[in-house]
A and B are shown apart, each in its own frame.
Chain A
Amino acid sequence: MCRLGVFFLLLFLSSLCVHTHKGEYKEKYLSILLFTSITYIMNEIRQLCTTSSSPAKHLDEILALFHACPPQHLLASLSLIGQSISCMSIEQLDLNIINHPIFLLIRQWSERLLQLWLNNGTLNGDEYRAIFYIHQLFKLLSEWLIEQDNRILNTTNDKSIDEIMKNLFLDENFLQTLSRVIDQLIHNENDQPFTELVSFKIYEIQKIDWKFFVVA
């Protein structure tokens, strides 16, 4: 929480700036201070996400910093958070992380991004990166769930997983958005002449984990 304190101090300083300085200096100082505070947030998020032993311990702080983020930097922060959590191993992931409000937040953001694509038919670089890392996170979650299912029955754990999954994903609007995206994707694919199938360059063929897809 001391990190947040520093951030608000910076904001306070920048507001002081507005009152004490006039003319050209005002704008200059303000922008420097604002820039410092924004960089500060990003750095903090980055540090918490990447350099600390586990981002799981700092989820509250990360969430608070995310809420304090100015709108134009939200997507970049979201990518950063998504990336850091999705880089965890299956063993590191646990119910406390999945049950954290930050997970619901990410799920809600995925809905927003999917809707953006449905409305605009395209995504900009920030949106694209954000949805990429969110997808990584979903992928990790599904692998984790399969891993849990393979374990020896643990009914209390199972019950809490079921509850958390319901809270996270049982949302009619989200499901409708997802369905619309599926329809749109298939529609797009149908429009392509079939003979001109392109290879999917992101996947390297060896890396495809067929087993995972079959198990699911």
Chain B
Amino acid sequence: MEVFCCCIKNEEDHVSPDDIQLQTQTSDIQAEQDDVLDVLYRCVNSLVILYSHRTLITNSIVEENLTPSILNCLNNRLFVQLSIEFLRQNITSDKINIRSIFFLFTCLDYSTLSTISISLLPSINHIFHIWCDIPKKSDEEISLLIVCLIRFLNQLALEDKDAIIRENICTYLLPHFDLLCQTSNLIDDLTSLIITLCSTRNGKQYLRQLGFVQFILYEVKRHVQLWHPLGLLITQHDFYETSFLKRLIHLLILRTTNIFQSLTTASNDTSFDSISPSSRNQVTITAIEWFVLLRTHFLSFSTIVDELINSTKKVHLINMLIETILSIEQDEDIQPKLIEVMIELLWTFTFSSSTNVHDSLQKHTDLCRWLKSNLNASLPNIRLPSQTILSMLDLNTKIPSKHFPFVFFILINSNF
């Protein structure tokens, strides 16, 4: 059986035949029991990965015959024990039973992709509980197992939000929330999980009670994805706390001015080398998303609108908004959608009773001229807000006042 001695050199990322010491002379003798188990684990592992393929995992034959076995495996006490052992020890530790850990990870990935059973929640709850108690350094990487579990929770939340709330699993996300946010690839799952839970009144209330608002506020500067869940979670109640409101306003101004700056830079930069069309496009998309989020989730609070208009110490946000609009509208390549959301933003600000905003608007004669020129614009979402802003400033005599409620009505419709 000299055949097996001539091991073919393999690519690095494959487990090459060299890795396994073949007993070349012993084909009749029983293979070592432990080696057999190892190879069976690997074989089963590869097969479960294959069955995780989208074509197979959704098939009823696989669901009926394999899924129960995988769930049974994950619900086994072995899963909890191994997970805890894995979390407590360094990954390179000799004591970790790699083959079972490997397989459990594969099963976890499988169950994340398949029809998920909530029966796993008590085990996961237990694992998170232990994980929270393990001391961590500030620069420590989050265990891969926790990353997988949060991904699993995110999928489960899409199916059954109440189960997650009932098991109170989100409590365990808070003690190391900063570490979780820092972990690459995890922030999107975390954000999505919070957004999903927020979609019901019950879920929003649950996350607020746990204090997610404060935790997110302190991470949102570094992780801009968190703005969306923050917008969903805040209520008028949060503004009673002055430090909270102050920080929120500071961060909102910071984010908005950053967006303005990136827009101006991208639009003024005419040299082809410095900014590629795709990165320019990305700037525009980010800006549109931010302005929409700002208007729908934050400017719906009059407290925030007023604070943003009146906190003019460092930056004058309204002036900046007007200047950015005037700057980018000269750019021929600009997306009309961007102009549209920016006018809508300005329009939202004009509803404020603050005199500051009206002063700023009236000071900018360029803006008034430009708004008037929009009255002939073909896009209604640019024409109508322009009309409204002008009529609010009483500068436009072309629109008879009796048309105003009608215009207003259209605007409301077009925005929601």
Nearest Cβ in chain A — how far from B71, in angstroms?
11
A37 proximal to B (CB < 8 A): no
B16-53 at interface with A (beta carbon < 8 Å):
17, 19-20, 22-23, 26-31, 33-44, 46-53
Would you give the shortest CB distance from B403 to chain A, in whole angstroms? 49
B6→A50 contact, CB < 8 A = yes
Decide: B47 and A178 in contact? CB cutoff 8 A: yes
A35 to B411, CA, bound (A): 90
* Partner of B99 from A83, A170, A200 at Cβ < 8 Å: A200
Chain A residue with the shortest CB-CB distance to B25 = A125
| Bound Cα distance from A162 to B57, whole angstroms | 11
- Say how far A131's CB is from chain B's closest CB, in angstroms: 6
Contact check: which of A83, A135, A198 meets B43 at CB < 8 Å? A135
Return A117 CB to nearest CB of chain B, in Å.
6
Which of the residues B31, B68, B94, B105 comes within 8 Å of A128, measured between beta carbons? B31
**The one of B37, B69, B77, B81 that contacts A179, using a Cβ cutoff of 8 Å:** B69
CA of A24 to CA of B15, assembled, Å: 49
Q: Which residue of A lies closest to B94 (CB)?
A: A199
Q: Provide the residues of chain B in CB contact with A54, threshold 8 Å.
A: none
User: Which of B58-66, B165-173, B191-199, B389-397 is found at the contact surface with chain A?
Assistant: B58-66
Q: Is A169 an interface residue when CB atoms closer than 8 A count as contact? A: yes
Bound-state CA distance A140–B46 (Å) is: 9
Residues of B contacting A131 with CB < 8 Å? 39-40, 43
Measured in the bound complex, the distance between the Cα atoms of B98 and A210 in whole Å is: 12
Chain-B contact segment, one of A10-18, A25-33, A59-67, A183-191: A183-191
Smallest beta-carbon distance A91→chain B, Å: 10
Residues in B whose Cβ lies below 8 Å from that of A48: none
- The distance in angstroms between the C-alpha atoms of A122 and B34, with both chains bound, is 10
- Contacts of B70 on A, CB cut-off 8 Å? 182
What's the Cα separation between A16 and B39 when bound, in Å? 44
Assess whether B19 is in contact with A207, with CB atoms less than 8 Å apart. yes
From DSSP, what is the main secondary structure of chain B's interface residues? helix
B24's nearest neighbour on chain A, judged by CB, is A125
A212 to B28 CA separation, bound complex (whole angstroms): 35
Distance, CA A175 to CA B64, complexed state (A): 9
Residues on A with beta carbons closer than 8 Å to the beta carbon of B23: 125
The yes or no answer to A104 lying at the interface (CB within 8 A) is no
Q: For residue A145, which residues in chain B have a CB less than 8 angstroms away from its CB? A: 50, 53
Closest to A42 in B: B3
For residues 63 through 107 of chain B, which have their beta carbon under 8 Å from a beta carbon of chain A?
A: 65-66, 68-70, 72-73, 76-78, 81, 85, 91-92, 94-100, 102-103, 105-106
B329 at the interface (CB under 8 A from A): no
Cβ contact within 8 Å between B1 and A76: yes
Name A's B-contacting residues (CB within 8 A). Answer: 42, 46, 50, 76, 79-80, 83-84, 86-87, 89, 110, 114, 117, 122-129, 131-136, 138-142, 145, 149, 161-162, 165-166, 169-170, 172, 175-176, 178-179, 181-183, 185-186, 188-190, 194, 197-200, 202-205, 207-210, 212-214, 216
B interface residues with partner A (beta carbon < 8 Å) = 1, 3-4, 6, 8, 10-11, 13-15, 17, 19-20, 22-23, 26-31, 33-44, 46-56, 59, 61-62, 65-66, 68-70, 72-73, 76-78, 81, 85, 91-92, 94-100, 102-103, 105-106, 109, 144, 147-148
In the A-B complex, the 7 residue pairs with the smallest Cβ-Cβ separation, listed nearest first, are: A179-B69, A175-B65, A128-B31, A138-B46, A200-B98, A135-B43, A162-B55
